[in-house]
Every structure is written in C-alpha cells, then in structure tokens.
Amino acid sequence: MSSSSRRAALRELLPAAGVDALLLTDLVNIRYLTGFTGSNAALLVHGDGDSHSRLCTDGRYRVQAAAEVPDLETVIDRPCALALVAWCREWGVDRLGFESDSVTVDGHAALVEAGGGLELHRAPGLVQRLRTVKDDGEIATLRAACAAADAALADLMAAGGLRPGRTEREVALDLESRMRDHGATGPAFETIVAAGVHSAVPHHSPTDTQLRAGDLVTLDFGALVDGYHSDMTRTVVLGPAAAWQREMYELVAAAQAAGRAALAPGTATSDVDEAARSVVDAAGRGAEFVHGLGHGVGLQIHEAPALARTGTGALAAGMVLTVEPGVYVEGRGGVRIEDTLVVRDGEPDLLTRTSKELLEL
C-alpha cells in the first residue's frame, strides 16, 4: 500500500473522531504515513486531502524529505508541530485532532497557545489501528527480517558459537553481527542470551557469565530490516538434556503449538492466550508462565494487538504477531519458544523458520 493510500485510509477515520484534521507527532506513525525516516518531524493530515496536508521538518532534512516524501508539500520550520498549527488556521480547520498518547503536557499547552482558539481534540491510536493489519509489502519486509535472524542463528550454531566457555555477551554480539551479514541494519532490540539460572529471567540482559555444559540457553533476538522488526526465541541445551529440562521444553512446545493453532481471523486475542496458557495450567505450572503470550510486531517491536488475558479485540487476516509462551523456575532455569506469524484465513503463515525441536548442542 502506498503512503498516499495509508493517508486516505486515515482520513476516513477523522469524521468519527470528530476532527477536521489530525496533527501527528509520533515519528513511527509519520514514517508509516509518509516514508520519512528523519528524527524531527510533524505531519498534518487534512480531511480535504493531500493538497491541504503538510509534512514539516527542519533544514537538516530538506533534501531527505524531498527524496522520501515527494507526494506532499514540505514545510521547513521548527518547532514542527507549532508550525503546522498555522496551516490549520489557513486551511479552515476548526477542530484539530492530536496524538494525545505522544504529546507531553507542556507540548499540549504550546499547541493551545499556538492554536489561538483552535479546538484541540484528543485522537490517540488512529494510526496504530491501521498499522495492526500489514499489507503485502510490509509482510515481505518482515519475512526478510525473520530470514536474516534465522540465517544468523544457523551460522552461529554451525560455527560452534554456542559452546561452554563463551560468555552471554560474546554470543549476543556474535549473533547481532551475523544478522548484519544477512542484510539487517541492526538488531531489532537488545539481544537476550540467558544461560543456566539466567534463563529463568524472561528479559535477562547478557553479562560476562560463561556458558557451561548442561546449561539451558535462551536466545531471544530479532533483525531490523527497512524499519521492520523480527522476533524469535529458541532455547537449547549445552549437552544432553536432563529429564527436568526435557519435560519443561516439551510442555512449552505444546503450549506454543496450541497458541499458533489458535491464530485465526475473528478469534479474540484473550482466547489465543488462553489456548496456550491452559496447556501450562493443566500441567500445574501456570504460576511459572509469567507474561502474556505475544504481541504485534512491525515498525515497532511491540505493537497492538496484545495476546494476553487482558487483551481486547479480535484477530484479523494480515496481522503479524508473536507466540511466545515460557516457563521459568527461579534459581534453576527456564524455557521460552517464540515465533513470528501472519494471521491468514487458513493456517497462519510462519515467518521464523528455525526448527523448534529441542537442540542438544
């Protein structure tokens, strides 16, 4: 879908929001609607069309804005949001929506002052609503990001990069370098490498702790490609798995399979979480599954919708989500298995292709 088509889709939401135009200050949403990747911008989407809409950025990005956003007139000024308020008065906007989820209290006061009587209306989440369903181009980019992560992990294991004596930090840096070798601009988020007892900490940050024989090692990582994020978790054992490790792994694998199978258009997000969580609950280990089942992924690593007990709404075809149950025993170890998938009318489309069989390295 083109940027102009995305702005047209947003424009259709403005009447229900009770506004004549929407002022956008969230840079991720601005990128989604225009393709602009600079670090300073605001965007005015006018209900009357692109001829009345404007991108604003500062002089550092004059050339970049012309190249990335050739289909909108660009205003070079700063502060960007306040500059666009003047356009609202010129183009007959009476009711201006703004992203109240990204504007500070002081920022709102400045908009009120600059508006000179312009009605300001909170209008959070409109673009995020559009972003939940990915178009074919977005899915292709996400597929490429997942492929880069898959290839990097395959290279790491083939090179013996997961072995006793290496540190968590060394493995994380090695994995990130290999993702770049396969086309990523960088990691999608801080790579998690958690060995031994650290594998029981869901968001452990890598340290200089050495991997040891017999350790569970959890690797949670992703690649960033053209602004889109991949997300995958695999847990391996360094050497033959102990009975308790195998039992835990098989339980999480069963829960993950149940969660994947529940991904279908029309299914409530809370029901997807329940499909996986009930497997862990039935084994008497529900208290050791301490987080939601998954989340949307795209231009941000965590996007709507959330797969959780508290999740709201239902799935739709084209949504891209993670399914990542885990079981964690403090002081002993944990297992998490995560994939990124596209919701389809039939079976979900699996983007992360690395095997989920228990690997004993």
pLDDT on residue 177: 98
In this structure, the answer to whether residues 224 and 262 fall within a common structural domain is yes
Lowest-pLDDT range of 96-110, 160-174, 184-198, 304-318: 96-110
Residue 301 belongs to domain spanning: 136-350
pLDDT on residue 116: 81
Determine the average pLDDT of the residues in 112-128. Answer: 90
In this structure, the answer to whether residues 105 and 213 fall within a common structural domain is no
pLDDT-derived band at 164 (thresholds 50, 70, 90) equals very high
Tell me how many degrees the CA angle 42-47-50 measures, rounded to the nearest 5: 65
In this structure, the answer to whether residues 294 and 192 fall within a common structural domain is yes
pLDDT tens digits, residue range 59-79?
A: 999 999 999 999 999 999 999
Flag whether pLDDT at 90 surpasses 80: no
pLDDT tens digits, residue range 18-37?
A: 999 999 999 999 999 999 99
Structural domain contains residue 356: no
In this structure, the answer to whether residues 262 and 340 fall within a common structural domain is yes
Boundary of a domain, candidates 81, 108, 129: 129
pLDDT on residue 86: 83
pLDDT on residue 110: 87
In this structure, the answer to whether residues 12 and 113 fall within a common structural domain is yes
Q: Are the CB atoms for 249 and 240 separated by under 8 Å? A: no
pLDDT on residue 1: 87
Determine the average pLDDT of the residues in 152-158. Answer: 98
- Alpha-carbon distances, residue 185 vs 19, 143, 361 (angstroms): 38, 15, 29
In this structure, the answer to whether residues 152 and 99 fall within a common structural domain is no
pLDDT-derived band at 117 (thresholds 50, 70, 90) equals confident
Percent of all residues in the chain with a pLDDT value above 70, rounded to a whole number: 100
Flag whether pLDDT at 253 surpasses 90: yes
pLDDT on residue 136: 97
pLDDT-derived band at 336 (thresholds 50, 70, 90) equals very high
In this structure, the answer to whether residues 204 and 55 fall within a common structural domain is no
Determine the average pLDDT of the residues in 184-196. Answer: 98
pLDDT-derived band at 187 (thresholds 50, 70, 90) equals very high
On the question of a cis peptide bond just before residue 79, with omega within 30 degrees of 0, the verdict is: yes
Determine the average pLDDT of the residues in 195-224. Answer: 98
Averaged pLDDT of the chain? 96
Structural domain contains residue 62: yes
On the question of a cis peptide bond just before residue 240, with omega within 30 degrees of 0, the verdict is: no
CA distance 36 to 96: 22
- Residue 220: Cβ-neighbour burial (10 angstroms; 0-12, 13-18, 19+): buried
Flag whether pLDDT at 351 surpasses 90: yes
Helix (H) or strand (E) holding 223: strand 223-225
Tell me how many degrees the CA angle 130-2-316 measures, rounded to the nearest 5: 30
pLDDT-derived band at 135 (thresholds 50, 70, 90) equals very high
Number of domains, the chain: 2
Lowest-pLDDT range of 111-115, 213-217, 355-359: 111-115
Structural domain contains residue 360: no
Boundary of a domain, candidates 77, 100, 129: 129
pLDDT on residue 88: 85
- The dihedrals phi and psi of 209, each to the nearest 5 degrees, come to -65, 135
Determine the average pLDDT of the residues in 264-293. Answer: 98
pLDDT-derived band at 184 (thresholds 50, 70, 90) equals very high
pLDDT on residue 21: 95
Structural domain contains residue 148: yes
Boundary of a domain, candidates 68, 97, 129: 129
Identify the CATH number of the domain in which residue 151 sits: 3.90.230.10
Q: Are the CB atoms for 118 and 94 separated by under 8 Å? A: yes
**End-to-end Cα separation, the chain, in angstroms:** 44
Structural domain contains residue 324: yes
Determine the average pLDDT of the residues in 280-300. Answer: 98
- The dihedrals phi and psi of 57, each to the nearest 5 degrees, come to -145, 180
Structural domain contains residue 355: no
pLDDT on residue 330: 96
In this structure, the answer to whether residues 94 and 146 fall within a common structural domain is no
Flag whether pLDDT at 91 surpasses 80: no
